[in-house]
Amino acid sequence: MTIKLFKVFLFSFFGIIPTAINAQGHYNGGSFNTNDYFIPPVSGWVFSLYYSYSDMNYYNGSHKKTDVIEISQNPPLSVELGQSVKTQSIIPMISYFGKKKILKANWGILALPMLNNPNANIALDFYSGQTLAGSKTISLKSFGLGDCYLQPIWLTWGKNKFSSTFSYGAWIPVGKHKLNDSGNIGLGYWSHNVRLMGRYKPKEKISVISGVTFELNNKQKGIDFIESPHLTVDYGGSYTFVKGHEIGLYGYGTWGIGSDRGEKASINNDQIYGLGVYGSYWFIPGKLGVLSRFTYNYGTMYRFGGASFQIGVNFLLFKI
């Protein structure tokens, strides 16, 4: 049973990459598959490699796609886009599940570096920093090291059909960032993610989850600006087959719950919702497999939204 649970976890773990790259801040709802939030009851190392593609457009306060971003109302200032934001990313990931327990919980850590184009988060950050009305262009052809996610605190408790998990992770601003540079690949500030999730398994092969993630952002490099905090509610369900193959659905909603501060502060609170589906298949159960997932946004307001697609491979780096 223990090894079987670990096989299921490895496959669902593909979803940890940012799948709906469409908002300010770093964390995007729907970034995990149903069982990804919960540590399996075994220890070891896992290495994963993913490819992600996103196609995003900007939506105004009426949830309508538009080429015009309002920068300020007084004085009135807006920037015309005339383009969508299409991003390609290559994402390696290393995770470790620890031996024994901490506070009676299974524990783990993970690191997620990224190689990518400027994504929609970065595009919106660039446009919001403009000081002259008109048409502006951000270069989407640059490619390089993006901001890195590190999750050093990750605890999972389980009893009978119920599990809960708590984690803290930080987005480290190692990606290229210069003020008002259209070739930026990072956001230029730290983001702190605190997450609490719960899971209920009415039957061994069925999982239902829900929970919240709070993201708090630090001051941006080179300017007096702090992005507002965001709250994300994630939920989903999955079915696991005998050999660990898995299918699942997930959804989320994200809202700005405070106000921007500083020179680029926006007067508008953004929001977005998303739905997605994923499937996984083991070529060698517990050793080597593939996964694909698709996410679509709706109800988008004052940010970029659209669709994203990921494929990936997952394998054990060291023997469990």
What is the span of the domain harbouring residue 290?
2-316
**210-232 pLDDT per residue, tens:** 999 999 999 988 888 888 899 99
The per-residue pLDDT for 136 is 55
33 burial (CB, 10 Å; 0-12 / 13-18 / 19+) is buried
CB atoms within 10 A of CB 242: 8
**DSSP code string of 125-175:** HHHHT--S-EE--------EE--EEEEEEEEEEEETTEEEEEEEEEEE--S
Rounded distance between C-alpha atoms, residue 303 and residue 251, angstroms:
18
Q: What is the pLDDT along the chain (320 residues), one digit of tens a residue?
A: 333 334 444 444 444 444 333 347 888 888 888 888 999 888 888 888 889 898 888 888 888 888 777 665 555 555 666 667 788 888 888 899 998 899 999 999 999 988 876 666 777 776 666 655 455 555 556 678 889 999 999 999 999 899 999 999 999 999 888 887 777 888 889 999 999 999 999 998 999 999 999 999 999 888 888 888 999 999 999 999 988 899 999 999 999 887 778 777 776 788 999 999 999 998 888 788 899 999 999 999 988 889 999 999 988 776 55
Identity of the residue numbered 298: Y
CB atoms within 10 A of CB 173: 20
Query: Does residue 296 contact residue 3 with C-beta atoms inside 8 Å?
Result: no
Helices and strands counted in the chain (H then E): 2, 19
The per-residue pLDDT for 42 is 82
Q: How many domains does the chain have?
A: 1
Residue 36 region by backbone torsions, left for phi larger than 0, else alpha for psi between -120 and 50, else beta:
alpha
What is the torsional sign of CA 122, 127, 131, 137? positive
Rounded distance between C-alpha atoms, residue 12 and residue 9, angstroms:
5
**280-299 pLDDT per residue, tens:** 998 888 788 899 999 999 99
Structural tokens at position 293: 């997932």
Q: Pick from 59, 41, 132: which is nearest to 305 by CA?
A: 59
The per-residue pLDDT for 140 is 59
The per-residue pLDDT for 135 is 53
Q: How far is Cα of residue 287 from the mean position of the Cα atoms in its chain?
A: 25
Which of the 8 DSSP states describes residue 308?
Answer: E
Q: What is the CATH number of the domain that holds 227?
A: 2.40.160.40
3-state secondary structure of 238: strand
pTM equals: 0.84
Rounded distance between C-alpha atoms, residue 161 and residue 176, angstroms:
45
